Amino acid sequence: MDTELALYTFGLGENYRIQDYFGVHETVRDGQKGFVFRVWAPNAEAVFLIGDFTDWLSQKLKMTRNQAGVWEVFTDLPHEGDIYKYLVRRQGGQEVEKLDPLAIRFENRPGTGAIVKPLKSKKWKDSLWMARRKRLGFKERPVSIYEVHANSWKKDQDGKPYQFKELKEHLIPYLKEMHYTHVEFLPLMSHPLGMSWGYQVMAYFGFETTYGSPEDFQDFVEACHANNIGVILDWVPGHFTQNDDALAYYDGTPTYEYEDYHRAHNYSWGVLNFDLGKNQVQSYLISSALYWIETFHIDGIRVDAVSNMLYLDYDQGPWQPNSEGGNHNLEAIAFLRKLIQAIKKDHPDVMMIAEEATSDIPITKSIAEGGLGFDYKWNMGWMNDILKFYEMDPFDRKYHFNLVTFSFMYCFNENYILPFSHDEVVHGKKSLMHKMWGDRYNQFAGLRTLLTYQICHPGKKLLFMGSEFGQFLEWKHDDQLVWSNLEDEMNSKMLVFTSLLNQFYLDHNMLWQDDYTYDGIDIIDADNAQETILSFTRKNKKGDFILCVFNMTPVERRGFSIGVPQEGIYEEIWNTELESFGGVWKEHNPITESQKESWRDYQTTLTFTLPALGASIWKIKKRK
């Protein structure tokens, strides 16, 4: 793209490859090899390039400004590996050292200097995966996501977190062993402080140096694809770190943030909000999303904190109604639609996910239908309700059974992912295991039943690391998971359980082929609050079904009968109380023949023993 077109489309908010123009690029001018540096700082009095090659402030290189507010300099002084920054002279004369918003590499924290080192084009070896992704998509496929914070999954003997070179060797075999279809990482973009978990980004093209190099991550993704594992990234287009050496008030005036002080400042999180109505910001953010998708072959983007983007009154600070008198952020709505359209135009098979907790604006409906066009939305209501229910004493659960059943009233209003995420196992909320009621035995029984319920409920699945083996301690961002838990037999059996549960999910297309309509589920009994038992069938497109029954109290129900849709001989194919899982049952329920007997709207019943605080799943072995 030539300079004139690059600047013109950047100003229109329609340049979706700005990294090809901005940042640092190796080039030749007048026969001289060197590097050209470009940065957008429209209201700066002056901008200088400084770095190792200028002895920093000793020989700073003055840049020239063009009509679009972009500063540029060509120099043959830098060498590959040199560190650089921009020295921005703000209105009034104050000079501030700033990072390069388009840099792809940075020095180690706490430094924020960018590194002169282009990312060479990779010869990818994942064409089979990419072709299959394009052909099969994800809507009618199983999606079971393992959510990972790269800095705290595992550390070496010296206490140093695994980088992606090590994660390639250790995490990928683990994902295969656990039968996950996807891995999702908390943000990997450059951020100044690990305590933010990556959610306070300082540069949207930079790969966080803590995790290794961009090339290491490319190799990791390629290896994931070779093992039939998709990779999803968290991405934060709503807000950014307010550190003065990053994007904040870049040229001394509101550049990336809103001009209105209160709209610019996010008081709850101590960050700055992007001005999503500004064309240049739109070009910057959409280019960032596409950069990660195209440069790293990413299979999905989870957009963080969408509610904060959509509602003017979401934060704790003062707010002003929009031009229509409401609380919707009209610029953010337009931006998100533009983002989805730009990505889907070239990458319709990339999964777009919204972390959003309200119901006012349709998230996964098409743009033509008035929605935002996302593929999935996190089902925060389901997650909050079911965790509140499972934290209760079982004696009280019959009075709050609506927490379990309410989701069936709205579970197809959007296309959902069911998340048990990092946010639920930190800041005093306790681990998923620790939330469960009762003694240690009953906590494991409750966790097994909870995860089975997640697998059987309509919607794609997500589980944060550590929950798969019942880690008791809360997640800590600066410590590795408590892998020593696996020396305990109960934790070890929990790990086996989760692995086999994920495999069970993959093997039964009734659980994932139709996650979007009532055609994929029949509720048998959602009214048995007294015994706190829920039952339903999940169906595939051929009409084959499995029967899912959940006993949510620690009382074994012998001679339990339930209506079933077809006569036949039934076989129990899943029981959370097997000894091999940590329970007390030595074997499954026996193969059982249905009986001709009226039960509500059903003319056929099935009678069996329902395990205490357990789940029992059946299929027809032989039809009558």
**How does pLDDT run across 252-304, given as a tens digit for each residue?**
999 999 999 999 999 999 999 999 999 999 999 999 999 999 999 999 999 99
DSSP-assigned states of every residue in 537-594: EEE-TTS-EEEEEEE-SS--EEEEEEE-SS-EEEEEEEETTBGGGTSSBSSPPPPEE-
How confident is residue 229, by pLDDT bands cut at 50, 70 and 90? very high
Determine whether 91 is exposed, middle or buried from the number of CB atoms within 10 Å of its CB (0-12, 13-18, 19+). exposed
Is residue 178 within 8 Å of 502, Cβ to Cβ?
A: yes
The predicted pLDDT at position 1 comes to 67
Q: Which of 222, 257, 275, 355 is catalytic?
A: 355
- Given a cut of 80, whether residue 49 has pLDDT beyond it is yes
**Residue tagged active-site, from 304, 331, 375, 514:** 304
CATH topology of domain 518-620: Immunoglobulin-like (2.60.40)
According to CATH, the topology of domain 3-116 is Immunoglobulin-like (2.60.40)
Domain boundaries, the chain: 3-116, 518-620
3-116 shares its CATH topology with 518-620: yes
Distances (CA, A) of 51 to 20, 41, 113, 150: 22, 19, 8, 30
For 321, phi then psi, to 5°, come to -60, 155
414 is catalytic: no
Percent residues over pLDDT 70 in the chain = 100
| Closest by Cα among 255, 274, 279 to 264 | 274
Tokens 């496929």 sit on residue? 141
pLDDT surpassing 90 at residue 92: no
Averaged pLDDT, 598-608: 95
Instruction: State the DSSP string of 8-23.
Output: HHHHHT--S-GGGTSE
Q: How confident is the model at residue 189 (pLDDT cuts 50, 70, 90)?
A: very high
| Position 624 confidence tier, pLDDT thresholds 50, 70, 90 | confident
- Mean pLDDT value of segment 560-581: 97
Type and span of the H or E element at 301: strand 300-303
What is the token pair recorded at 71? 């500063």
Strands (E), 336-487: 351-354, 376-378, 416-420, 460-464
| Known catalytic residue at 304 | yes
pLDDT at residue 201 above 70?
yes
Q: Which two tokens stand for residue 436?
A: 């469960």
